[in-house]
Amino acid sequence: MSVSVQKQDFNISAEMDALTAGDRDIGAVVSFTGLVREMTSAGAITEMALEHYPGMTERALADIETAACARWPLQGVRIIHRYGPLAPGDRIVLVLTASRHRTAAFEAASFLMDYLKTKAPFWKKEAGPAGSQWVDARDVDDAQAARWEAPPDAS
Amino acid sequence: MSVSVQKQDFNISAEMDALTAGDRDIGAVVSFTGLVREMTSAGAITEMALEHYPGMTERALADIETAACARWPLQGVRIIHRYGPLAPGDRIVLVLTASRHRTAAFEAASFLMDYLKTKAPFWKKEAGPAGSQWVDARDVDDAQAARWEAPPDAS
Amino acid sequence: MKVLYFSWMRERVGLTSEEVETRAATVRDLAQELAVRGENYAYAFENLAAVRVAIDQEMAELDTPLAGASEVAFFPPVTGG
Amino acid sequence: MKVLYFSWMRERVGLTSEEVETRAATVRDLAQELAVRGENYAYAFENLAAVRVAIDQEMAELDTPLAGASEVAFFPPVTGG
């Protein structure tokens, strides 16, 4: 269980090796990597700046990890979220889940991303030739997160 | 779209970089990595040998990729499956999916693994102190694959 | 009490944080007190439905009591990930 | 026609592949012809419900016609991934 909020980039292979090292009972590792997309509804962007709430961010991500571990049999979880100025194509976020079987790893990674999108205090500001603007929250993200409110077996 | 069936290990970061290179409209990359577990229902193993059907394997994996691309808006798919002798902790399989948004990437990766488990001609043989035995197919894998037979919106 | 602002709340108010003396009972009361401090505050708080809040670094609601709170943060809906 | 065996079908028959002359109409007919070739074949084909088949490298069923087939493979349910 580990959370990092950092400016610098991350290496997925190295993070995965660290997560699985020494545990030969892991059968499945799922990763999610979020990247800065160049084309947005407002046109092509040249920069994406990420602001966050130091202190609360780490706490919120740790809470999300705890919730995932309570719900699925996970042998490892890792969340890395970057902040500061990023460019199109840059990595923003990494979520890793390790479990005996693939279903738990897939579901937990999906859950972590849905919760992170709606509960972790980050704000994106896109900049392009036409100026800069804060990204609006998407209703679909709230809907995605809400589907985990029902018991796991109800889906 | 690319499939490899190989003896040698793979590097997830390098594969992900190759998959996303030059496409700045990818917002989400999901990876699944399958590892050899030491503890099985038959006790601790020391080796896992993977046999496959050369020719048909590549064809089956390409068909599975095609099915995923027909179903989700994917900007990239990569499947690597190893064969030959492996040890506990070794990587067996890698599935990568790249898309604009995370839902397509998550669902497609899950679909690819479910189909691969039931349609790609691989057979695992575990060896340990008590001898060696072929791994039995699991009914749960058939059930996992069957859930994709319904239309995507029905789930 | 320390009050923090993030994203466009920060830009509109023109501050990242400030010390506030208040007897506001709830977050909503505090927001209404702040909103009348000037045009920048009025602009930031013009639509409370678009404002989210955390008390002592935990997500809260507009009607959450402020008793015992030492840090309150105002911000728009989060957009990370 | 080329016939291939994988996994424990290969081990039981004792061959990875062989050329077979047959007029079998379906996969099931072919399996029944092979099953009487000796104890090793009988053992391999003793439970057809546990046997899967591919014709020309595509998954098929026991009742799939063999007309035009040049390669048939017998194997247990797959266990990759």
pLDDT band at residue A5 using 50, 70 and 90 as cut-offs? very high
The first and second tokens of residue D31, run together, are 């399996």
When scoring A9, A11, A17, A30 by the number of chain B Cβ atoms within 10 A, the one with the most, hence best to mutate, is A30
Among C36, C42, C32, residue whose Cα is nearest residue C63: C32
Predicted confidence (pLDDT) per residue in A67-117, tens digit: 999 999 999 999 999 999 999 999 999 999 999 999 999 999 999 999 999
Chain C residues with beta carbon closer than 8 angstroms to that of A59? 57-58
ipTM value of the model?
0.94
pLDDT (tens digit per residue) in B105-132: 999 999 999 999 999 999 999 999 989 9
- The tens digit of pLDDT for each residue in B29-39 reads 999 999 999 99
Q: How far apart are CA A105 and CA A10, in angstroms?
A: 21
Residue A13 confidence class, pLDDT cut points 50, 70, 90: very high
Question: With 60 as the cut, is the pLDDT of residue A153 above it?
Answer: no
Instruction: Output B151 or A10, whichever has higher pLDDT.
Output: A10
Q: Number of helices and strands (H, E) in chain D?
A: 3, 5
Q: Label the pairing between strands C2-5 and C71-75.
A: parallel
Given this model, what pLDDT does residue C53 score?
98
- Identify the CA nearest to B30 among candidates B92, B90, B111: B111
Confidence tier at B6 by pLDDT (50, 70, 90): very high
Q: What is the pLDDT of residue B150?
A: 72
Residues of chain D found within 8 Å of residue B56, distances taken between Cβ atoms? 54, 57-58, 73
Residue D2 has pLDDT above 90, yes or no: yes
pLDDT for position A140: 87
Single out the residue of A132, A114, A116, A112 nearest to residue A124, CA to CA: A132
Amino acid A41: pLDDT:
82
Judging contacts by C-beta atoms under 8 Å, the chain A residues touching residue B32 are: 28-30, 102, 105-106
Tell me if A136 sits within 8 A of C79, measured CB to CB.
yes
Confidence of residue B155 (pLDDT cuts 50, 70, 90): very low
| DSSP structure string for B60-120 | HHHHHHHHHHHHS-EEEEEEEEE-EEE-TT-EEEEEEEEESSHHHHHHHHHHHHHHHHHHS
What does the block give as tokens for B32?
A: 């699944």
CA A51 to chain centre: 15
B128 lies within 8 A of chain D by CB: no
Question: What would the mean pLDDT of A122-151 be, rounded to a whole number?
Answer: 91
Structure tokens at B37: 């577990």
Neighbours of chain A (3+ CB pairs under 8 A): B, C
| pLDDT bracket for residue B41 (50, 70, 90) | confident
Q: Is the sign of the CA dihedral A112, A114, A120, A126 positive or negative?
A: positive
3-state helix, strand, coil in chain C (%, to 5): 30, 25, 45
Please name the residue of chain B whose CA is at the shortest distance from the CA of residue D51.
B137
Determine what percent of chain A is predicted with pLDDT higher than 90: 87
Burial class (CB in 10 A: 0-12, 13-18, 19+), A117: buried
3-state SS, residue D77? coil
Residue B150, class by beta-carbon neighbours within 10 Å (0-12 exposed, 13-18 middle, 19+ buried)? exposed
Q: Which amino acid is at D40?
A: N
Share of chain D above pLDDT 90, in %: 100
pLDDT given for residue B154 in this prediction? 44
Check CB contact of B51 with chain D, cutoff 8 Å: yes
Q: Is the dihedral of CA D73, D78, D79, D81 positive or negative?
A: positive
Return the percentage of chain A with pLDDT > 70, whole number: 96
Contact B16/A16 with Cβ under 8 angstroms?
Answer: no
pLDDT score, position A1: 63
Please give the Cα distance from C12 to C9 (Å, whole number): 5
Tell me the average pLDDT of chain A: 94
Question: Does the beta-carbon distance from D80 to B50 stay under 8 Å?
Answer: yes
The string of pLDDT tens digits covering residues C17-54 is 999 999 999 999 999 999 999 999 999 999 999 999 99
Chains D and C touch (3+ CB pairs under 8 A): no
Nearest CB to A37; choose among B11, B16, B100? B100
Q: With 70 as the cut, is the pLDDT of residue B66 above it?
A: yes
